[in-house]
Amino acid sequence: MNSEKKDDIAGIRALEQLEKPNYMLMSIQRIIVLFVISCCVVVIVYYTPMPEEYFESCDRVCNELDWPMICRVKLVVEVYKTFSKSCGSCTADGGPCPSTCISGDGRERGVLAVNRGLPAPALHVCHNDILVVDVVHRAASHALALHWRGQPQKETPFMDGAPMLTQCPQPAYTTFQYKFRASAVGTHMYHAHSAADAADGLAGAFVVRQSPKLDPIRGLYDVDTAEYTIFIAEWGHSMGPLAGISSEIPQAESLLINGKGKTEENPNKILSKFLVTPGKRYRFRMIYGGGAKGCPVKMSITEHIVKLVALDGHSVEPVNVESIEINRGERADFVLHADKDSKTYSIKIVAAESCQKELKGEAELVYDGTTENTFTKDDTNDVKVFCSVFSDSCNSDRIVCLNELNSTHKMPEQLSGSLDFLAKGCTNTGWLYTPVTPNPNYNMHSPHTITLPSVYPESSLSIIAIG
């Protein structure tokens, strides 16, 4: 027992002789570790773009981290008129007019207006936003449906707005709600599915933006806002139902740009104005809503060269052009570099003479400032003319047609196969595609032959309707 006690006492003394832990040093180490972790968190939070908590409007700067917004819109459709009492004397004095004043091209006529404006209100949203559009129909003895051009509507095909196909026409004095996701990025439009209603004013711009980090052409421009949207429309001097009494398609009187224009009878009417600052690059979004005739139109800006960057919502490799020609329902985005002398320039819209002569419209490009600038002028040696209408003029070296443009996105793998593979894949859709030899003497009851671009191995296809 005595020996055991002696061993225990010796063990206790040995433990007491061991060095005690340095609690101060351990505390300092823990504080340093916590400080480093805190610094890392602060740096990550500071340099990570955080989504905004609240937006007053769906027309905002898009961010890839934002949650999609629910954009509620109310569209009141009613029969209205140009030069209503709300205009007062603003059209004669040249002063600012209220939003409910429709001047058109200077003549009084009925309008199928949306929210008492012309064109219909422009809708600007971000990619994947949810649109809830209440259409309040107040036009008597009239049925309508709104089509959202450019949106695939894969999730909500019943919201496409095609009467008797995806929905019944909306009768008068009712409210119909469209609800869908803005799934397709780019410049689009919405309009009444009836061409006569669209010609009377029921059409407007529909722009779906994306985050600047995801935009392949973001480095080409500095400004992209709603103020630089160009909506073109043919305009006559009688409403569609009245004009439709005649068996002939009525002649258009003018081309309106954002609801304003002029004619020879009224040469001093108010025109749409686009204000630019010297040195900046502006992305313009041009939309052609068409009209009763739907003539192809050509847009040009005095003394300016523009850069074509997108068509129908799809970005393309930039091309410098001096004019852009598009058809009804088409859209074109272009970048304008404000590098000219500070003064007012004309934005001219001219219809194809083969469709109707002397049909034109005009707007003003106004430079902010009065001094001459010293910017480097654009190189005009390789400037061409863009035309979306296929014709013999496409053979010219100065004409750029659709088949000469290249997309900024790669072709999907499903479409990059051989023509035979694609032909077999289309047989279940109600059409049969088979390679044939072109026949210039075909008729409507024989296979229709079309020529494909040279990227395909075969030169033509035969399209035969089944059933």
Number of Cβ atoms within 10 Å of the Cβ of 111:
23
Among 86, 153, 151, which residue's Cα sits nearest to residue 113? Answer: 86
Largest CA distance in the chain: 131
Q: Measure the CA–CA gap between 285 and 227, rounded to whole angstroms.
A: 10
**Residues with Cβ within 8 Å of residue 54, at least 6 apart in sequence:** none
Among 402, 404, 462, which residue's Cα sits nearest to residue 438? Answer: 462
Residue 167, both tokens: 């929905």
Q: What kind and span of H or E run contains 378?
A: none
pLDDT, residue 196, reads 79
Are 306 and 400 in contact, with CB atoms under 8 Å apart?
no
Instruction: Label residue 369 left, alpha or beta by phi (over 0 means left) and psi (-120 to 50 means alpha).
Output: left
3-class state of residue 420 by DSSP? helix
Q: Measure the CA–CA gap between 286 and 118, rounded to whole angstroms.
A: 16
Q: Measure the CA–CA gap between 350 and 357, rounded to whole angstroms.
A: 9
Are 363 and 350 in contact, with CB atoms under 8 Å apart?
no
Q: Residues in the chain with pLDDT < 50? A: 241-245, 374, 421-467
113 phi, psi to nearest 5 deg: -95, 155
> Tokens 């008797």, residue?
164
3-class state of residue 394 by DSSP? helix
**Residues with Cβ within 8 Å of residue 164, at least 6 apart in sequence:** none
The 10 Å CB-count burial string (b at 16+, else e) for 66-98 is beebebeeebebbebebbbeebeeebeeeeebe
Residue type, 156: T
Query: Which domains are seen in the chain, by residue range?
Result: 70-404 (2.60.40.420), 413-465 (no CATH)
pLDDT, residue 438, reads 43
Which DSSP state fits 106?
S
pLDDT, residue 264, reads 72
Edge-to-edge strands, sheet with 130-137:
110-114, 70-81, 130-137, 174-181
Residue 80, both tokens: 């209205």
